[in-house]
């Protein structure tokens, strides 16, 4: 039997981490994604799992969406649209209905936990949102989405935003998934886009280790200096997603990690409520068999 509650119950039923490098889009990277084949395969895996779940909407936390000091952004408009024209691939596009009911309730829930929000004006989606959504659309997802932005780097409140997402989903009675969009260190190699720091790999090792162990609360205690030298944009969005599932670890699995272009790409299922707890007692291989059977 599945551990999923009734379809009428709203809440967050799935959460994942997906990187957002445009080069991972086949029409953008063309031959370049070959060194990142594991990431591409893992992204397809997560997208297929999510698209096949009986979910109402997906919420993407994008670190590249517009930010304002002291407040979290909520994309406005009836549609969420964008393409990769600036990367030479206008044919790779996303066009989904914006879950305005969820967005409206999220603003109320955020206020209740002491957070401010602002409406991001209608415009083309940033690649931090587009890359995960493109994989979902190509896996068959056509249902509503919502896209949120973070506060400025270094500001707190990510955990509270996650709780607001959870509360909003319950209030509107929607079954949602939350996607943390983020790349790990941008300084892994001498030719990395943000320069090189030999300690940058420490951030990626520790981050991935936390996900593998399900030691989610350890992410809240990361060394800020290590974050800065890594040049990462993954930690805050991941904390939002984890708080949205009450830090639960059911079904968690790191599907891939690699850094072929000097930037760390990690793909992971953070929470999957469709996996029965009994499947998890005997290790990851048993969980894999249960997923195939569900």
pLDDT tens string 8-58: 589 999 999 999 999 999 999 887 668 899 999 999 999 999 999 999 999
Which domains occur in the chain, in start order?
11-293 (3.40.830.10)
The SS3 call for residue 134 is: helix
**What pLDDT score was predicted for residue 34?**
82
pLDDT confidence bin for 293, thresholds 50/70/90: very low
Give Cα separations from 106 to 67, 72, 171, 245 (angstroms): 17, 11, 9, 15
Average pLDDT of the chain to the nearest whole number: 91
Burial of 121 (0-12, 13-18, 19+ CB in 10 A): exposed
3-state secondary structure of 35: helix
Does the pLDDT at position 129 exceed 90?
Answer: yes
pLDDT tens figures, 92-108: 999 999 999 999 999 99
In degrees, rounded to 5, the angle at the alpha carbon of residue 220 between the alpha carbons of residues 158 and 176 is 45
Q: How confident is the model at residue 286 (pLDDT cuts 50, 70, 90)?
A: very low
Mean pLDDT, residues 173-194: 96
Q: What 3-state DSSP class applies to 170?
A: helix
- Confidence at residue 275, expressed as pLDDT on a 0 to 100 scale: 53
The whole-angstrom separation of Cα 74 and Cα 245 is: 19
Beta-carbon contacts of residue 71 (< 8 Å; ≥ 6 apart): 115, 116, 117, 118, 151
Helix (H, G, I), strand (E, B) or coil at 257: strand
CA atoms of 228 and 84, how far apart (whole Å)? 28
Mean pLDDT, range 168-188, rounded to an integer: 98
- Comparing 3-17, 66-80, 225-239, the range with the smallest average pLDDT is 3-17
Question: Across residues 186-196, what is the average pLDDT?
Answer: 94
Residue keyed to tokens 């939002």: 240
pLDDT at residue 74 tops 50:
yes
Stretch 279-294: mean pLDDT: 38
Name residues whose C-beta falls within 8 Å of residue 28's C-beta, 6 or more positions apart in sequence: 22, 84, 87, 88, 89, 92
Give the whole-angstrom CA distance, residue 263 versus residue 185: 6
């Amino acid at each position: 039997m599945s551990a999923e509650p009734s379809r009428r119950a709203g809440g967050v039923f799935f959460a994942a981490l997906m990187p957002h490098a445009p080069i991972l889009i086949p029409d953008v990277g063309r031959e370049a994604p070959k060194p990142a084949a594991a990431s591409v395969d893992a992204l397809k895996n997560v997208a297929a799992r999510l698209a096949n779940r009986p979910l109402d909407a997906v919420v993407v936390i994008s670190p590249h969406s517009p930010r304002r000091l002291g407040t979290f952004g909520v994309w406005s408009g009836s549609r969420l649209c964008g393409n990769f024209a600036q990367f030479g691939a206008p044919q790779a596009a996303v066009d989904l209905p914006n879950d305005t009911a969820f967005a409206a309730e999220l603003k109320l829930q955020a206020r209740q936990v002491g957070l401010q929000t602002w409406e991001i004006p209608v415009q083309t989606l940033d690649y931090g949102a587009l890359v995960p959504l493109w994989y979902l659309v190509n896996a068959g997802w056509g249902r509503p989405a919502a896209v949120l932005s973070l506060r400025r780097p270094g500001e707190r409140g990510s955990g509270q935003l996650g709780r607001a997402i959870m509360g909003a989903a319950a209030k509107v009675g929607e079954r949602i998934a939350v996607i943390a969009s983020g790349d790990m260190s941008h300084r892994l190699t001498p030719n990395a886009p943000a320069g090189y720091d030999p300690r940058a790999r420490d951030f990626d090792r520790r981050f991935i280790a936390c996900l593998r162990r399900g030691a989610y609360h350890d992410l809240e205690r990361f060394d800020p200096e290590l974050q800065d030298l890594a040049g990462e944009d993954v930690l805050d969005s991941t904390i939002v997603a984890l708080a949205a599932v009450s830090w639960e670890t059911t079904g968690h699995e790191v599907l891939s990690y690699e850094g072929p272009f000097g930037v760390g790409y990690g793909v992971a299922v953070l929470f999957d409520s469709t996996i029965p707890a009994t499947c998890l007692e005997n290790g990851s291989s048993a969980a894999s068999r249960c997923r195939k059977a569900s």
